[in-house]
Amino acid sequence: MYRRHFLASPLATLPQSGAQTARPNPAAARRPNVIWFFGDQHRAQALSLSGDPNLRTPNIDNFASMGVQFTHAVSGFPLCCPFRGSLLTGRYPHHCVPGHEYPLPENQPTIAQPFHEAGYHTAYFGKWHLGGWKERNGRAAHFITDPRRRGGFDSWTGYENNNSQYDCWVHGGEGKDAFHYRLPGYETDALTDLLIRYIKEQASAQRAGAGKPFFAICSVQPPHDPYVAPPEYLQRHSPASVRFRPNVPEAGWVRERAARELAGYAAMVENLDHNLGRVIRTLHEEGLYFNTRLLFFSDHGDMLGSHGQFRKTNPYEESIRIPFFISGGQPSYEGRITGRWPVLLNAPDIAPTTLGLCGIRPPSWMEGRDWSAFRLRPPGSPAPAPPDSAYLQCVIATGHGDSTNKPYRGVVTRDGWKYVCFENVSWLLFNLNEDPYEQVNLAHNNRFRAERRKLIARLRQWVADTGDKFAVPDD
């Protein structure tokens, strides 16, 4: 059973009996506010509710228990830029951001547009990685994203890329109103401070009757490498105490590196958990929690030694599976759903699902599906049929070390199978029901030829349905 208090630290604790908490705000009750709060490279397995023995995430656990958890959510292209392109546009990577350091197309509308049309104020804070900066052009922290490539948000305070948690620079505005400065302290803490200040400003305006409903995004880079967290979190973890997943091989160099990285990673996740608690506390204090849809997720996972692999881009479970939770909202609403749903929600589905939570019809240029009915639907109505599968892609490979160096396509199914291929060559086939750690590759075992052919046919249909181009094997 989940504990009903937010325990990451005294600052993250929800108001107790007798504490002063703002009443729900009638002026804000007409339309719900929305917040996306997400980290980078945070795999679904790295939560205490998922059974990870290396860390504690009480705020996330409690948050999940009071809302809905999409237990099978995936990052269809597990890489920062493609995921973010799909997240903001509801489009598949081959139609939007096909690879690392590719920019958001200049004329591509984002989720900010339908929210504007519905009367929302929109704000973005944190990592963007869609401005088109290239590694050969110096440090990303000093890159200024063209205002035309900032997604159309009313307020935008972000950075292209960073990878230095105590030396994070943000920018925004343009012309005489442009700014560029270094965040004080640790990145996740400082970006959460900006979000909290924004929430308080919006709450004040709504109480005064002059505010709009808002859609705010806070995108932090931790727990992305390098695995650095504030000292009070790092001191709780050491490589010697790390417990490995069963698919981390016994190879000495793999385990030595994985232990070192997992210790820092766990500390970063716990700090992220603490900051989610701060956001929830602020919403309660400002009287906005019961009229705010709060979504917590990640852009992709991190291998951290599983299968001898590190980082992301490959289609293994540790790379593609992401946490995805929706909570907040009126507790008295009869159609509000809680619980765990095995829905294969993919990156292009997040934007239309978010709009659906607010009663806004997703625009026709979004390709993803609206799965908001798994959180909100009329009393007595059945849950919609979940998707039979999700589409996996690596459209343009990065060529980096610790990443898959070839394009691939794949499919993971509701009934527990995963198939992935390179062009014209089968690569991976797993029965996740019997082999959740993906230790038995069946792709070239003809005992499973019928299943392989069925999955190839489903993959070929995904390629056709999404207008993709890829040479899927015949057998």
Query: Residues 216, 36: contact at Cβ < 8 Å?
Result: yes
Dihedral angle at the C-alpha atoms of 412, 413, 417, 423, nearest 10 degrees? -40
| Buried b / exposed e along 185-223 (16+ C-beta atoms within 10 A) | ebbbbbbbbbbbebbebbbebbbeeebbbbbbbbbbbbb
Query: Residues 53, 243: contact at Cβ < 8 Å?
Result: yes
Maximal C-alpha separation, the chain = 69
Rounded Cα–Cα distance for residues 337 and 331 (Å) = 10
- Residue 332's pLDDT is what? 43
From first to last of its 475 residues, what are the pLDDT tens digits of the chain?
223 222 333 233 333 323 344 444 444 447 899 999 999 999 999 999 999 999 999 999 999 998 999 999 999 999 999 999 999 999 999 999 999 999 999 889 999 999 999 999 999 999 999 999 988 778 888 999 999 999 999 999 999 999 999 999 999 999 999 999 999 999 999 999 999 999 999 999 999 998 899 999 999 999 999 999 999 999 999 999 999 999 999 999 999 999 999 999 999 999 999 999 999 999 999 999 999 999 999 999 999 999 999 999 999 999 999 999 999 876 544 456 778 899 999 999 999 999 999 999 999 999 999 999 988 877 677 888 999 999 999 999 998 888 889 999 999 999 999 999 999 999 999 999 999 999 999 999 999 999 999 999 999 999 999 999 999 999 9
What 3-state DSSP class applies to 131?
A: coil
Rounded Cα–Cα distance for residues 77 and 320 (Å) = 8
Other C-beta atoms closer than 10 Å to the C-beta of 9 total: 15
Question: Is 389-465 in CATH node 3.30.1120.10?
Answer: yes
Query: Residues 2, 90: contact at Cβ < 8 Å?
Result: no
- Residue 297's pLDDT is what? 98
What 3-state DSSP class applies to 370?
A: coil
Q: Is 345 exposed, middle or buried (0-12, 13-18, 19+ CB in 10 A)?
A: buried
Q: Is 315 exposed, middle or buried (0-12, 13-18, 19+ CB in 10 A)?
A: buried
Structure tokens at 165: 């948690």
Q: How much is the pTM?
A: 0.92
Question: Is 26-374 in CATH node 3.30.70.20?
Answer: no
In this structure, which amino acid lies at residue 116? H
DSSP structure string for 417-471: EEEEEETTEEEEEEETTT-TT-----TT-GGGHHHHHHHHHHHHHHHHHTT----
Bridge-partner residues for 180, per DSSP? 171
Query: Residues 42, 323: contact at Cβ < 8 Å?
Result: yes
In this structure, which amino acid lies at residue 411? V
DSSP 78: -
Placement of tokens 């990878």 in the chain: 163
Dihedral sign (CA 91, 92, 98, 101): positive
Domain parsing of the chain, residue ranges: 26-374, 389-465
Rounded Cα–Cα distance for residues 153 and 124 (Å) = 7
- Residue 330's pLDDT is what? 60
- Residue 461's pLDDT is what? 98
Q: In what order do the strands lie in the sheet with 68-70?
A: 179-182, 169-172, 155-159, 121-127, 214-219, 33-39, 292-298, 324-327, 68-70, 339-341
Taking only Cα atoms into account, the Rg of the chain, rounded to an integer number of angstroms, comes to: 21
